[in-house]
Structure 1
């Protein structure tokens, strides 16, 4: 988490992410709210979960497209170069989705 904090970046995670963040007032990984057994989520917590899900949806759809196209199984390159390739594929996926 320190490398994300040093660059000023934030990450969005689902409810299954368990984070040991050192600064709860300024989290690096943003997660939704879980409802405890004793009470239900408030309206604002539900809205925050919906906003988080809306922000994560394009990435989830992009990964689903990559899995369907089976591009990652055919990748025969250095893993350091794969990051740039994946970024380019996400851009193309977003352009296709916007059409």
Structure 2
């Protein structure tokens, strides 16, 4: 959290990350809203969940492609190079999916 906040960055996450962020006024991790039997979601919360899902979908699809290609299991390199490689692969994957 501290590294993201210091860099001025944020992250979109699923409901598994709820409660992880310690500053409610300036959240670093944006999560959706959860419904229960006693607490139904308002239309605004449903819209916020939809917007969050739309933002996360391309990233989830990109990692799914990387897992299917088993790129990450064969990777034996410096983490800095791995980050550059993953970024390049995600760009190529998005180009291929959009084609």
Task: State TM-score, norm by structure 2.
Answer: 0.92
Q: CA RMSD in A?
A: 1.2
Structure 2 gap segments, 5+ residues each: none
Instruction: Report Cα offsets for 1:32-74 as digits up to 9, x if no partner.
Output: 0011331210111011001000000000000000011111111
User: How far, CA to CA, are the matches of 1:6 and 1:50 in structure 2?
Assistant: 28
Give the 3-state SS of the residue equivalent to 1:71 in structure 2: coil
SS in 1 for 2:45: helix
The count of aligned residue pairs is 99
Q: How far apart, in 2, do the equivalents of 1:27 and 1:77 lie?
A: 33
Specify every segment of 5 or more residues in structure 1 that has no aligned partner in the other structure, as ranges: none
Could you report, residue by residue, the CA deviation over 1:3-47 in whole angstroms, capped at 9, with x for unpaired residues? 111111110000111343232011000000011331210111011
TM-score scaled by length of structure 1: 0.92
Shift of 1:75: 1.0
